[in-house]
Chains A and B, each alone.
Chain A
């Protein structure tokens, strides 16, 4: 099977000389389609930096990254934004919905940038909201929604383009127990439908939903546990 993510010798250094911080020191990682991966690690371990690289939000200092077969380091800015739009659905800890814009418009936004016309856009956005169980909240503004609902809108926005994978940076970090269950339920369903999910978490209960747990420490992968593969 062709890997969705293939990373070799990825490093990221912030700053120069004595003050340089090595956030990643050479990470090798391969994620296959349909996998459900949790990345765990202490704060400052480099897990967020790794996810930002995977989501093409940041540029590595060195190393190779192939996303669904595309050599990311060789792409220009326009191609990168196309890649972010078509291949990646990113979910943030702080939801990051566009303010003063309805849930439906937020979900439509990636489709607007991919050039889809109005009618199919609306249909697909409503289907995505249906998927996360929020179709009756389509007209609400972000500040009229609870944290869990906002995060589910963000999930709908991430999956509306039908990306190769969902990347989630502590998606339940700002949520209460019930909302956490809601969001993880959506992830489980998406993964059951064959969607690749990579998420960062520091909670074992959240990581328990994943089939593969990767531990990052001081910029390196220190454990890669696939014990849940095949259990699902």
Chain B
């Protein structure tokens, strides 16, 4: 009695009732595919959030005015001087750059084309490095441009395309709210980060924007770049100390500004998506377990249905091991086949975008789901198989 013969008996047993075998297989297939796919979706969600936060720059702090302004306290707006005071090799050695930022919206007009730019930013050249922006065409504006308040602008790729179409934008003049600006550069595409499209922007010297669009009011934010990703928290403490001093905020007092740290943002978001992934995985694992119970159920039915056959086999000399092997092989084949199919569906399915998330397969989830499906066959099949093998020939033969 060799292994191959046992396998042949098992295949014959399974093909004798194709519909039943197929439905049992389906249970395992759905379970395995669900584990792989749902874990991939959860993983894809965290990956996309991590990527978008990474895109903002991991060593960036955003200082913005506090909303509400405290309880009747005198709130001081953020000023350009605040921004410049943060670049201080003595008081703030971990701050590499700090750019004052004003933001507004504007309608751009070029020839017959009119386009609403969702974000017009006035800032200083350091802002480009701080936010990881590089120029694809032309050049960025310079400190000189800021000092002279030259009306030059760097456009995001989406903006440039919307205004100029296929024409070369660099060197052209464009009207922003009827004020003429010269396009000096186009940024590299960065993609949507969260809700905002980072490619639909116009960035111009702070002074030029204040001059012509926003007026010399308050800053919307100060973009601070720490020297390295590891020194973000040190930089945050230094920025806090300097701003507290400048704004006259005593220790323990409520600050009239807030500092947002991309690391913290990443940590909270990742924690949320991790929970999400665990929940999805748990649901999928339950469906895999249900599939396993399905295998047990079908094997029990099969054994009961074929007790006479087992009796015949034993009467003509089938050893216990051969009967055990045959039914165990049947159960394992069912779940292995279902598992393979599930892996296939899971892998293929995760190539599609699901609910706006591009799934990222976790290789260990494939290994785990497949191994579990194989073990399900052995584990859940062993009980019915044992029952079949332990029957006395005469009892089995008398069974109706």
Contacts and interface: CB of A to CB of B under 8 A. Distances in A.
A112 B309 contact: no
A98 B320 contact: no
B393 interface: yes
A113 B394 contact: no
Contacts of B322: 113
B313 A78 contact: no
A139 to B, nearest CB: 15
Interface string A106-125: 00011011110000000000
A78 B312 contact: no
B12 interface: yes
Contacts of B316: 84-85, 90, 109-110, 113, 157-158
A32 B85 CA distance: 117
Nearest to B308: A96
A82 B319 CA distance: 7
A58 B319 contact: no
B386 to A, nearest CB: 14
B314 A109 contact: no
A86 B317 contact: yes
Contacts of B81: none
A160 to B, nearest CB: 9
Contact of B12 (A52, A59, A84, A100): A100
A77 interface: yes
B12 A81 contact: no
Contacts, number: 69
B320 A81 contact: yes
Contacts of A85: 316-318
B84 interface: no
A57 interface: yes
A148 interface: no
B309 A99 contact: yes
A179 interface: no
B397 A113 contact: no
B394 A58 contact: yes
Interface string B222-258: 0000000000000000000000000000000000000
Q: Which of B2, B314, B392 has the most CB of A within 10 A?
A: B314
A101 interface: yes
Interface residues of B, number: 23
Contacts of B2: 115
B16 to A, nearest CB: 5
B167 interface: no
B309 A113 contact: no
B312 A113 contact: no
Nearest to B393: A57
B319 A113 contact: yes
Given A52-B394, A57-B397, A114 B12 contact: no
Interface residues of A, number: 30
A55 interface: yes
Interface in B362-400: 392-394, 397
A84 B314 contact: yes
Nearest to A77: B320
A78 B1 CA distance: 13
Nearest to A79: B319
A92 interface: yes
Contacts of A58: 392-394
A113 to B, nearest CB: 5
Contact of A78 (B16, B309, B315, B319): B319
B5 interface: yes
Nearest to B322: A113
Given A96-B308, A99-B309, A110 B317 contact: yes
Contacts of B309: 98-99
Nearest to A97: B312
A57 B315 contact: yes
Nearest to B315: A90
A101 B222 CA distance: 82
A82 B318 CA distance: 8
Given A112-B1, A112-B5, A96 B315 contact: yes
B44 to A, nearest CB: 47
A113 B315 contact: no
12 contacts: A55-B315, A78-B319, A81-B318, A82-B319, A84-B317, A90-B316, A96-B397, A110-B316, A112-B5, A113-B322, A115-B1, A157-B316
Given A57-B394, A157-B316, 4 more contacts: A82-B319, A84-B314, A84-B317, A158-B316
